[in-house]
Amino acid sequence: MRWWLVQRISAAVMAGYILLLLARLAILQPKGYAAWQVFWQPVWWRMLTLVCFLGLVVHAWLGIRDVFRDYVFNPAWREWIQTAAELLLLFYLCWACYILWP
């Protein structure tokens, strides 16, 4: 599969999740800590959030890769910066898992 298509699909996944999030916020209207906790309680919602975040990580990875390719001309520098960004995104993914399943 082409990477640009992966970026489009991940964008569509995130857009769907955001619409669902807005709908849930509008229906449940969580006010206060207890309601906020209930909002994040369902396992299916946590799973969907993780899927969205996975899409976000892939989308961000491809996006900043394109930006680095356009503006960082030195191949050695670009390699380093890109690797650093990839490690950072991997760390964010682990962090998100930890938040969702503490």
- DSSP letter at 40? T
Distance (Å, whole) CA 9 – CA 1: 11
Toward other proteins, which CB reaches closer, 44 or 101? 101
Assess 74 for contact with other proteins (CB under 8 A): yes
Token pair, residue 41, equals: 């309680």
Residues 30-69 that bind other proteins (CB under 8 A): 33, 36-37, 40, 56, 60, 63-64, 67
**Measuring CA to CA, which residue among 10, 98, 1 is closest to residue 61?**
10
Q: Which residues sit at the interface with other proteins, rule CB under 8 A?
A: 8, 11-12, 15, 18, 33, 36-37, 40, 56, 60, 63-64, 67, 72-77, 92, 95-96, 99, 102
